[in-house]
Amino acid sequence: MSIKDYIAKIQNTCALIDTIGSQISKPKKVEVVLVGLPSEFDAILTLASFSFKPLPL
């Protein structure tokens, strides 16, 4: 699965959860996306962990 497809899947899941009235914070969404990335994206995870600004989803 490409990163684009993976993020779209997370966004769709979050949208479904939002429709039932539950809110997921943006930082939590980013956390879920980053944790689910395969090991070849460890550099992105490292950079994100040192970022002072939240990553946009």
Handedness of CA 38, 16, 5, 43 (dihedral sign): negative
Helix, strand, coil percent values for the chain (each to nearest 5) = 65, 0, 35
Domains of the chain: which residue ranges? Answer: 3-49
pLDDT in tens, 11-55: 888 888 888 887 777 777 777 777 777 888 788 778 777 777 766
pLDDT of residue 35: 78
pTM over 0.75: no
